[in-house]
Structure 1
Amino acid sequence: MLLALQDVTFEFGARIIVEDASWHIVPGDRVGLIGLNGTGKSTLLRIINGEYSVSKGSVNKIRNLSLGFFNQDLLSFETDDSILSVGMTAFDKALALEKDIERITHELEHNQTEALLHEFSDKLHEFEALDGYNMRHKTAQVLEGLGFSTADLERPYSEFSGGWRMRVLLAKLILQQPDVLMLDEPTNHLDLPSIEWLERYLQSYNGAVIIVSHDRFFLDRMVNKIVELYQQQLHHYAGNYEDYEREKEMRRELQQRSYENQQEYIRQQERFIERFKAKASKAAQAQSAMKRLEKLDRLEQVDGGPSKIRINFTVDKQPGKILCTLNDVSKHFGDITVLDHTGVEVNRGDKIALIGANGKGKSTLLRMIAGTEPMEGERIPGHNVVQSFYAQHQLESLHLDSEILEELKNTSSGRTEMELRSLLGCFLFTGDDVYKKIRILSGGEKARVALAKTIISQANFMLLDEPTNHLDMNSVQMLIDALNKYEGSFLLVSHDRYFVSGTANKIWEIVDGKIKEFKGTYAEYEDWKKRQAAAAAPPKPPKGERGKNRGNNNNNNTPEPTAVKEIPAASAPVKGTPINKEAQKELQKHQRQFQQLEGELARLKEKKQQLEASLGNPDIYGDKGKFQQIEAEYKQVTQDLEKANKQYEEVFEKIMELEG
């Protein structure tokens, strides 16, 4: 066990966040921490992080436990250093050693004492043990995995926007490899390729991971446990979010049946008491029944779960068959080409999701179709098209002096106040919140008001740019249900794969300046992409040939593929260059050694995976001796793997040298 909350109670003033809550975290845990907005999920992470002290109970951690906490507060960090330098601060010990080694090197130029040479040797050994020689490469690899280009790495951190800064700080936290990694809404600042990279990384992460996220697809792929913060209690579920929903429904049904059975029992006892309390022969029994009811631990009625609000779209006009056409359009921003002589057509009934990495021009294309973005080429609007455009940067369309409810009434949607209040409840505006002035709302709250206005408009064509930002999972599901009933057409940009999966019947992607269209759902699109990748992959070499990954080292947490090199047979020197007999013998010796190392690496990797699986088994921690034995074996096999990888690289380089 890494960490345990035992009977913890924590209050903010008079408000109780958790009461008598317990939670044990072990290696290998991938936990999704969920709950309605405002229940205190982020506060709970801060309790674990040691920022808040509990009023009751205890938070117990193993000695030297390292914690990493990714959250919005990190944005207060400022520096003009390059993002590569910021990421590399994760290796603080190795960086300090690097400075020491540099200092000693200068001293050795003038004073080669035995003590100084010993210190130099010790520092080099420690630097190598910390994998200091690879820290720049690792940092660059993680930053590029999170969406930065190689050219970006030397740019100052201060030049980047808030979302890109969060990626840098996430990279730093990942590189620190804490025992417990806590991520508060990590996908908010990531595009689809970066989210997929983060998923691959976290799936092989050695420590425990706790994730707070409204990205249901991300939770379904990432977690093996769900902890729900509900009514000041922590409720534990095995499996991912889909498993949680299924099990919670079963628990709710069982609890409801228990409640109903108890209510029936109470009614029977009350009838018995009422009937016989005045009868002398039955008075004692009636008294006993009253005492039983007084002592009864009353069950609470099960809540019905999140309210199901039905939003019925009304379409004012029926449009023509074609809503919009772009012919031979191009778009440039200076030297950057976003679209290059491409075209596309939106038809009636289309439910299109425009996906892909940031910076590819998705929002630009959305504005071009809306007719608000200048471009080269031709835009042909369709007949009877009434469009409504939602984008966060267009919040200036809101009337700042209006109240929220008033703002929706002014859309002339013909809905009653009760219907509008119900809709606003889906967007997290409840009670007197609906009377707040738009002027005092936060950016996220204004975005939710603008989205509510968009979906109750009578438009027959909606353009939605990241509509699920600032929504919780229940609100996202509500929006999915609403869009599925919508009789019009829409084009949306989103990185929320669950949302896209539940709404789109076509997928668009911008590739090399061209708009590529896939007719089908997101699940079908993913399957197609996998088949395309498999078809494009090079065939596996015959048994006698060896193509090996030179970048493969002991850090199996970095899933990025590296270049594959072929090791030619000794009898076939490269480019026909003659090799003398001595060199030929040495080459053959190294190739035999290379083969042996391949087998050794495979054996060590398999053993390491088996030990990792054992360490992820909670039963192991009940037997201290067995745990210590497995932990020692794990450390040893990690060292052996590091050593074998180093030899592998050295032999490979030698073979290349002899064959070159």
Structure 2
Amino acid sequence: MNIKQNAPKNCIFAPNMISINDLTFLIGSRALYDEANWHIKPGERIGLIGANGTGKSTLLKIIVGEYAPSSGSISMSKDLKIGYLNQDLLSYESHHTILHVAMEAFERQNQIHDEIEVLLKKIETDYSEEVLYKLSDKQQEFEALDGYNIEYKANEILAGLGFSTADQHRPLNTFSGGWRMRVMLAKILLQTPDILLLDEPTNHMDLPSIKWLETYLAGFEGAIVIVSHDRYFLDKIVNRTVESRKGKLTTYAGNYTFYLEEKSLRGEIQKGEFKNQQAKIKQEEKLIERFKAKASKAKMAQSRMKALDKMERVEDVDDDNPTVNFSFKFTKPSGRHVIRIENATKKYPNIDILENAEAVIEKGDKIALIGANGKGKSTLLRMVAGVEKFEGSCETGHNVTTTFFAQHQLESLHLGNSILEELQAFAPKHTDTELRSILGCFLFTGDDVFKKIKVLSGGEKSRVALAKSLTTDSNFLILDEPTNHLDIQSVNILIQALKQFEGTFIAVSHDRYFLDNVANKIWFIEEEQIKQYPGTYAEYEIWNSKRIIPVPKSIPVKPAEKEVKPKTEEKPVTANSQQQLKKLNDQLQKIEQETVQLDKDVKVIEAEMADEKVYSDQAKLADANKRYLTAKQLLDAAQNKWEELAAEIMELESN
């Protein structure tokens, strides 16, 4: 049976795309899933959530057939086309360009293209009708498959995921793992599957790319299953939430925020049922104890005991939201000025980060440093931490003690220590109870705290390093992507901890929920300057959506063009050149106005797509998505034209 990918989203009687029935999956003697059931319908957008270790990624592997269930069944239509993104793709290697790798998605089109090339070569010497007919048939099939637009489609998706035109012609193996993952995502999206299974798709993405992916998925007509710890991302995309917990899969008919409210409500009901049942059990046990010794009542007592044994017990509600029960301790508070940056200039061979930039961090500032990848966020953090050389100065204020958390800090962990010993050595002022409480918040419970650092995974080491940062004696924290490798519960713990922290911190993260809950100032790098918005991340987003982004001051010059050239005789400025310069400047001014208007149009459509009335209506959403892609294409063309005109003006003015 062929299941159409544009079936109604909420159709009760729609056939299941994938049916999971009584699924049991054992790891050793532990049941990761125990007779779990789940049915995925066409058009559903599902967030698969749960604490680390509850089997979310494993379940996706079971669905695609990488793992076999211990018992139970998974059924789906034979021709169901699944697009599966997982973290294993980070290791994919290729010497081809990323554009070539992305276009591998068009398997049939590429095959026909190669056949057409062979026939075109053959027709140079063979003019037979047979060859001409074959060529005509192949060209018609290629056109029917939209083969002439496949490169444009690949360009569009790669650009949305943050790749410049030049980047698209670089080999895949020259990119880091995070960027490779984006290429693999582009390839999967280009395959237009019936259902997308996305395991942490926003890992290694910057905020602009996450927003682009949100917009793209909002217009995707197939079903989607997303494993993610990004609450904002889930709220924007999903209309169903499935929780993996204690071997079962529980469905909630809404996004993540709905899930929290509904689960709380269900929990209150379950608590009441548990309390009532426990009272009934105690009453029954008293009656049985009272009458079991009496011969005349023994039969009745025996009957009640059997009924009690057969009673289906209501479980008490576990607290899934542990709280931080420790306090930060630092010996001395800092002075008013924590960091003062003056005349800071930082350049790399192919990119200028800062030019005579200035900034001040004051006591009590909770700063979120945001922006696209490659804009210099981590570089700026290292400058603040004093581990990155640059021109200018970065002065540390009175009594400021600093702790710098970054992913490379994992290398400083002592492999021979147990997790608890690592924290004891780093934070001797904290009691073992406090340290174990902190470790419990980061998923190290019971005997886990005695595991050696050397046997931990990369994610576990990251959580240990972060726990160490929270036990520090420092009054100034520098945090580079602290939410990486954390599930939603652990992110909540980190938020609680930073809210209690009475010192100062600056953090880089792509988790918008985290940023919105901890920051009272926003920093961003623009026009090679450190700029500041004095408010929360949510307030910054509203402000940023209304402003006009500054046009670049100049076109970046390639390093080869920066070489000092011998002086040549200056050409006299003629009336013709002045007339041409005036014409180009008029055109530049006109295209600037067009760019501003097109940018506004794009933002209006983006706001429209975020409206519940639009994104809940498939027809309206598809129309909005189509208008968005058209407007974005026009904006890109206008920006390219601006760059061409600016380059012409610069060349003419230099003559």
Pairing 1:420-431 to 2, within 5 Å after superposition: 420-431=435-446
Change (3 A) 1:480 1:53: same
**Residues in 1 aligned to 2:458 and 2:304: alpha-carbon distance in whole angstroms:** 59
Corresponding residue of 1:93: 108
Q: Which residue of 1 aligns with 2:453?
A: 438
Give SS of 1:317's match: coil
Which is further off, 154-163 or 17-26?
A: 17-26
Secondary structure at the aligned position of 1:235 is classed as strand
How far off is 1:272 after superposition?
2.3
1:437–1:295 CA distance, 2 compared to 1 (3 A): closer
In structure 2, do the counterparts of structure 1 residues 402 and 335 end up closer, same or farther at CA, with 3 Å as the change threshold? Answer: same
Is residue 238 of structure 2 the alignment partner of residue 231 of structure 1?
A: no
Match in the other structure for 1:494: 509
Q: Look up the SS of the partner of 1:410 in the other structure.
A: helix
Does residue 159 of structure 1 match 2:174?
Answer: yes
1:351 to 361, 366, 370: 366
> Is the Cα contact below 8 Å between 2:239 and 2:255 reproduced in 1?
yes
Q: Please, which of 111, 117, 120 is the counterpart of residue 102 of structure 1?
A: 117
Distance 1:9 1:441, change over 3 A: closer
Is 1:21 the equivalent of 2:36?
yes
Aligned to 1:414: 429
- SS of the equivalent of 1:290 reads helix
SS of alignment partner, residue 90 of structure 1: coil
Query: For 2:391, which of 376, 379, 382 is the aligned residue?
Result: 376
The Cα of 1:36 is off from its aligned counterpart by 1.4
Matched, 1:45 2:51: no
Residue 218 of structure 1 corresponds to which residue in structure 2?
Answer: 233
Asked if the contact 1:413–1:458 (Cα under 8 Å) also holds between the matched residues in 2, the reply is: no
* Cα 1:76–1:457 shift into 2, 3 Å: closer
- Which of these residues, 313, 316, 319, is aligned with residue 298 of structure 1? 313
1:481-538: CA deviation from partner (whole Å, max 9, x where unpaired):
01001110101111111110110000001112111100000010011112225999xx
User: How far apart, in 2, do the equivalents of 1:13 and 1:413 lie?
Assistant: 38
Contact kept in structure 1, 2:238 and 2:255, CA below 8 Å? yes
Q: Which residue, out of 231, 245, 253, partners 2:260?
A: 245
1:113-149 deviations in whole A, cap 9, x for unaligned?
3333332222222211221111111111111111111
Counterparts of residues 174-573 of structure 1 (less than 5 Å): 174-279=189-294, 282-532=297-547
Cα distance in 2 between the residues matched to 1:476 and 1:528:
26
C-alpha distance in 1 between matches for 2:320 and 2:428: 29
Asked if the contact 2:368–2:508 (Cα under 8 Å) also holds between the matched residues in 1, the reply is yes
Moved more, 449-458 or 201-210: 449-458
Could you list the structure 1 runs, at least 4 aligned residues long, displaced by more than 6 angstroms after superposition. 561-564, 608-611
- 1:443 is matched by which residue type in structure 2? G
Is the partner of 1:190 in helix, strand or coil? Answer: coil
2:427–2:471 CA contact under 8 A, matched in 1: no
What displacement does 1:201 show? 0.6
Evaluate the alpha carbon distance shift between residue 563 and residue 114 of structure 1 in structure 2; reply closer, same or farther with a 3 A threshold.
farther
For 1:603, the equivalent position in structure 2 comes to none
Aligned-pair distance for 1:236? 0.5
SS of 2:466 mapped into structure 1: helix
Q: Give, in whole Å, the separation in 2 of the partners of 1:390 and 1:488.
A: 15
| 8 Å CA contact retained: 2:218, 2:615 | no
Map of 1:169 onto structure 2: 184
User: Per the alignment, do residues 610 and 368 of structure 1 end up closer, same or farther by CA in structure 2, a change over 3 Å counting?
Assistant: closer
Structure-2-length-normalised TM-score: 0.80
AA partner of residue 117 (structure 2) = E
8 A contact 1:310–1:482 mirrored in 2: no
What displacement does 1:316 show? Answer: 1.6
CA RMSD after TM alignment: 2.7
**Post-superposition shift, 1:18?**
1.5
Please give the alpha-carbon distance, in whole angstroms, between the structure 2 residues aligned to 1:277 and 1:399.
62
CA shift digits 1:565-609 (9 cap, x unpaired): xxxxxxxxxxxxxxxxxxxxxxxxxxxxxxxxxxxxxxxxxxx99
Q: Point out the more displaced range, 269-278 or 217-226.
A: 269-278
- Judging changes above 3 Å, is the alpha-carbon distance between structure 1 residues 86 and 331 closer, same or farther for their aligned structure 2 residues? same
Counterpart-to-counterpart distance in 2, 1:289 and 1:432: 41
In the alignment, the residues of structure 2 paired with residue 5 and residue 380 of structure 1 have an alpha-carbon distance, to the nearest angstrom, of: 60
1:621-656 Cα offsets, whole Å, 9 max, x none, are xxxxxxxxxxxxx9xx9xxx9xxx9xxx9xxxxxxx
Residue 177 of structure 1 deviates from its aligned partner by: 1.3
Secondary structure of 2:326's counterpart equals coil
- Normalising by structure 1, we get a TM-score of 0.79
Does the CA-based 8 Å contact 2:287-2:301 persist in structure 1? yes
CA shift in 2, pair 1:133/1:254, >3 Å = same
Equivalence for 1:65 = 80
User: Matched residue of 2:478: which SS?
Assistant: strand
| Kept after mapping to 2: 8 A contact 1:413/1:457 | no
Aligned residues: 554
**What is the rounded CA distance, in whole Å, between the counterparts of 1:157 and 1:127 in structure 2?**
27
Q: Which runs of 5+ in 1 are unaligned?
A: 537-560, 565-607, 617-633, 650-660
Contact 1:315 1:487 in 2 (8 A): no
- C-alpha displacement of 1:194: 0.8
| Distance in 2 of aligned mates of 1:464 and 1:611 | 40
Comparing 265-274 with 250-259, greater Cα deviation is found at: 265-274
Distance 1:355 1:67 in 2: 34
